[in-house]
Amino acid sequence: MGEPIYFDNNATTPVAPEVIEAMAPYFSEHWGNPSSMHRLGSKAKRAVDQARRSVAALIGAEDPNEIIFTSCGTESNNLALKGNLSAQSRPVSFITSAVEHSAVLEPLMALNSEGIELHKIPVDPYGTLQQDVLAEQLKNTDTALASIMWANNETGVVFPMAEIAEKVKEAGGIMHTDAVQAAGKIAIDVKTVPVDLLSISGHKLYAPKGIGALYSRRGTRLGALQKGGHQERGRRAGTENVPYIVGLGKACELAMQQMEKDTNHERKLRDRLEAGILATCKGARINGDTLHRLPNTSNISFEYLEGEAIMLMLDDAGICTSTGSACESGSLEPSHVLRAMDVPRAFLQGSIRFSLGRYNTEADVDAVLEKLPLIIKRLRELSPLAAD
Ligand code: PLP
């Protein structure tokens, strides 16, 4: 079998060749510590400063010092949530959405079990945040911080972040957004969207795994979780991972240059893929608001089937996708995102996420449209409920 056909870019992207090229000299020649005062140190420091400017530019941040490099999106989220909490001087209440990634939900649930009040805002059947419930919650509680994602990793649904952040700011709260799936895919401008804290992950935008960033608007109170040296202005101690930081900077530059091209390319392929699947596979439905969606993501459920089985058969055919269900403690738990959207029972277990990327081709889509209808037909023959 040749190269796998990759439709799982929301899980991770390959590292762009331009990124590898930009990183390489920082392993071999320019390996200095950015805190060192000599020439090798200065060379590394200049590279880190340049990368900080590139990350800031991607999200419209005016001051590069508002960017803190971290090890991943999960760390950025934890730093935003716990770092903000440690800077609060009064009892606090947090707000989040019912469809966040576990990298937000788990730290918030842990804080909740330690006594922090937590309110989850529901979504509607299209996966859109119920903003009237948010407004009511903001009116009724003294909210210290709201953490609401920019775009959902499972469905690709994009939240109206400007409206949401304005509501939270008017109520006097701090606004954090997990923009891990949005950054590099859609335009983000913190000059016009009043978020205070914003998380980014390198490996969702063609940089390596193990590098991330947190934007912290000037004046936002943030305690450090990791204490030690003065790196990242005392907000995240530890010698900087220079090659990976350079890689993230380069990936952000590429994302800015190519966003329009990537968007058009991915949307065109995604729409053809979806139309083809709906036309050839019985009992298929798209989950999520198709008008407000990342251009690369398609979450499709197949009535009465198991997503896991479809995903494994696609994998056997050389096609990498993912399923909305997570295999937890041996049982197939339907996705919390689809459950929050009240997806009908018959469609809950059978979801597959196709997430496209810069390097997908028409031929990749053709391969799915050739193999998937046969897989669905075969599974329907095996399942009494799902039979034609
Ligand atoms: N937030 C969202 C929305 C994600 O999709 C992911 C990863 O899938 C993360 C956070 C975690 O990012 P990382 O893998 O860099 O820790």
Locate the ligand 1 atom nearest the alpha carbon of residue 76 and give its number. Answer: 16
Question: If 0-12 CB within 10 Å is exposed, 13-18 middle and 19+ buried, where does residue 105 land?
Answer: buried
In single-letter form, the type of residue at position 44 comes to A
Nearest CA among 197, 127, 150, 132 for reference residue 169: 197
**Model confidence at 226: pLDDT above 50:** yes
**What pLDDT is attached to residue 325?**
58
Q: How far is the CA of 72 from the centre of ligand 1 (A)?
A: 8
CA gap 168, 160 in Å, rounded: 13
Rounded mean pLDDT, 328-338: 75
Residue 174 has pLDDT above 90, yes or no: yes
Check pocket membership of 208 for ligand 1, CB cut-off 6 A: no
Q: What is the Å distance from ligand 1's center to 201 Cα? A: 7
* 5-12+258-382 and 17-254 share one fold: no
Mean pLDDT of the chain, nearest integer: 95
Residues 338-362: tens digit of each pLDDT: 999 999 999 999 999 999 999 999 9
Angle at 49 between CA 228 and CA 181, to 5 degrees: 85
- Tell me, what's the pLDDT at 231? 97
Region of 234 on the Ramachandran plot (φ > 0 left; ψ -120 to 50 alpha; else beta)? left
Task: Look at residue 88 in the predicted model and tell me its pLDDT.
Answer: 82
Smallest Cα–Cα separation from 103: which of 76, 123, 84? 76
In a 3-state reduction of DSSP, which class is residue 302? strand
Give the distance (Å) from ligand 1 centre to CA of residue 103: 6
Q: What does pTM read for this prediction?
A: 0.97
Out of 72, 252, 320, 327, pick the active-site residue: 327
Protein residue whose Cα sits closest to atom 9 of ligand 1: 73
Q: How far apart are CA 323 and CA 340, in angstroms?
A: 16
- Indicate whether residue 178 lines ligand 1 (CB < 6 A): yes
Burial class (CB in 10 A: 0-12, 13-18, 19+), 108: buried
Task: Ligand 1, residue 153: give the atom nearest the CA.
Answer: 5
CA of 152 to the centre of ligand 1 (A): 10
- Burial (Cβ within 10 Å: 0-12, 13-18, ≥19) of residue 240: buried
Sketch the domain layout of the chain as residue ranges: 5-12+258-382, 17-254
327 catalytic, yes or no?
yes
Ligand 1 contact via 100 beta carbon (within 6 Å): no
- Percent of the chain clearing pLDDT 70 (strictly above): 96
Quote the pLDDT of residue 53: 98
- Looking at domain 17-254, its CATH class is alpha beta
Q: CB atoms < 10 A from the CB of 17, how many?
A: 9
Q: Decide: 173 in ligand 1 pocket, CB within 6 A.
A: no
Query: Token pair 């590069």 is at which residue?
Result: 64
Which residue is closest in CA terms to ligand 1's atom 14? 73
Query: Which residue, among 164, 194, 197, 172, has the nearest Cα to 92 in the 3D structure?
Result: 172
Q: What value does the mean pLDDT take over residues 76-90?
A: 91
Could you tell me the CATH superfamily of domain 5-12+258-382? Aspartate Aminotransferase, domain 1 (3.90.1150.10)
